[in-house]
Amino acid sequence: MHYENNGAYTGEVSPAMVAELCEYVILGHSERRLHFGETNQAVNKKVEAALRVNLSPIICIGETANERSSNQANDIIASQLSGALTGVEDAKSIVIAYEPVWAIGSGAPATPELANEILQGPVRETLRKIFGGQDAERIPLLYGGSVGRDSISGFLSQPSINGALIGGASLKADDFAEIVHIAAKSKHE
């Protein structure tokens, strides 16, 4: 989604058009950051645009393997989140998806414990600084990055993980249906 409602932006979709068909929009995905040079500031403009047309932004954040191995993950995640939410005052329709870049498409997701640690640590802490305690606690936190039918239960069993953002596995109907079934079952347990 582009941040302008109209204009000559070939290859982009206006917020108003997305809002006609969807309730949610994924913003800040690592592929957009890598291949299209999206910055935290560009993601922020898109978050604001989404909120203006009553879309719920799913804001993706995550570190590369090099950033993780050099102990920069927490700082990178806090920076991405702070940048995406600069000036945003209302947290009610925001969703955050932690997608470590090193796990996306690798078939090797982060461990559920690591994902939980990131979400309850730097992610919640940054959200508390931006929105205050109660509003920050209401924001749903998702894990994404090579989530499949064999790993979904482990992620959903973690206290700070409210759901999952499914990528490649959503392209295989049987796998995705099983993931949905497992997730629905875990919500009722």
d(CA 186, CA 157) in angstroms, rounded, equals 8
Decide the pairing of beta strands 56-61 and 163-165: unpaired
Measured between its terminal Cα atoms, the distance across the chain in Å is: 36
Helices (H), 15-132: 15-21, 30-36, 40-52, 65-69, 73-84, 112-118, 124-131
Q: What is the DSSP annotation of 94-112?
A: -EEEE--TTTTTTS-PPPH
As annotated, the active-site residues are 29, 99
Tokens of 107: 């078939």
